[in-house]
Amino acid sequence: MNRLNPASKTLRAAEEKALAARKVARAAALKAKRSKAGRKDKAARTVRQIALNQGLEQSFQAAHQKVLDEYKAGLYKAAGEAEEEEGEQ
């Protein structure tokens, strides 16, 4: 293989070294994730995500209510209704 790819040994050694480093880094990441500080960070992210979701739901409900109010007042027309009225004129 050395004739076809002179850097074969070097690349293989580098890949083995990277594989070992990845294994160590993953173990460290899992240890940090499962530690008390990691669980605390996860809880903070969860609370933040729930608050964001609640805000999105409230804004959607407000927008939907605005559309319903416009529809009741006769100001809102769907895209299909607008095209039909133009065709009738």
pLDDT digits (tens, 9 = 90+) for 39-65: 999 999 999 999 999 999 999 999 999
Considering the entire predicted model, what is its pTM?
Answer: 0.49
Q: Given a cut of 70, is residue 23 above it in pLDDT?
A: yes
Per-residue tokens: 49: 């995500």
Q: Give the pLDDT confidence score for residue 89 in this predicted structure.
A: 55
Q: Give the pLDDT confidence score for residue 12 in this predicted structure.
A: 94
Per-residue tokens: 21: 């480093």
Q: Give the pLDDT confidence score for residue 80 in this predicted structure.
A: 62
Cα–Cα distance for residue pair 23/17, rounded to 1 Å = 10
DSSP per residue, 11-33: HHHHHHHHHHHHHHHHHHHHHHH
